[in-house]
Amino acid sequence: MDLPGGVRLDERDLQMLAILQREGRISKTALAARVNLSPTPAWERMQRLEREGVIEGYGARLAPAVFGTPTVVLVQVEMERHRASDFERFERTIADVPEIVDCWSVGGGTDYLMRTETASIDAYQRLIDRLLTADIGLRRYYSLVVTKTVKRSGAAFLPLE
């Protein structure tokens, strides 16, 4: 498989990536065995995939309930103007806001969809108030309060197998 930027992935690379997506804590030795390689070549492949930006990082998925269940709100955002500079200013600003855990530029009448996680509804409202007064071109927002998490994956899943 050829990826943009000239990165080539063979069948073993794809097998390794599929396993790492599901089992990030697998040992290097176990991973090597699962793709029929010795540990050193498997490790070298992983390092190459990291260097080439195919693997962005590794992390643990924490249980929110242990820390006190956060208030999760999905926010639809409409911008005042639709100039590139307005979008850039908005995106630069929200990139530094830790309570905004995901943000997507979307079509269909809404400009952005954000996922926020705060300690309470009150903390969410303070976040929105800060955004409204930040002069980032936010015209209107719609809040969708999450009442129950049905599925939480924590990472993008790519169908590699």
Torsion 122-126-127-128 (CA) sign: positive
Taking the C-alpha atoms of residue 10 and residue 3, their distance in angstroms, rounded to an integer, is: 11
Q: Which of 2-6, 19-23, 133-137, 147-151 has the highest mean pLDDT?
A: 133-137
CATH number of residue 122's parent domain: 3.30.70.920
Provide the CATH number for the domain around residue 26: 1.10.10.10
Q: 68 and 140 share a domain?
A: yes
Nearest Cα to 55, choosing from 16, 92, 29?
16
Q: Write the pLDDT tens digit of every residue in 46-69.
A: 899 899 988 888 777 767 667 677
Residues 52 and 12 in one domain: yes
The confidence score (pLDDT) of residue 23 equals 81
Q: In this model, does residue 20 exceed pLDDT 90? A: no
Phi first, then psi, for residue 82 (nearest 5°) are: -120, 50
Whole-model pTM above 0.85?
no
C-alpha span between 19 and 95 (Å, rounded): 30
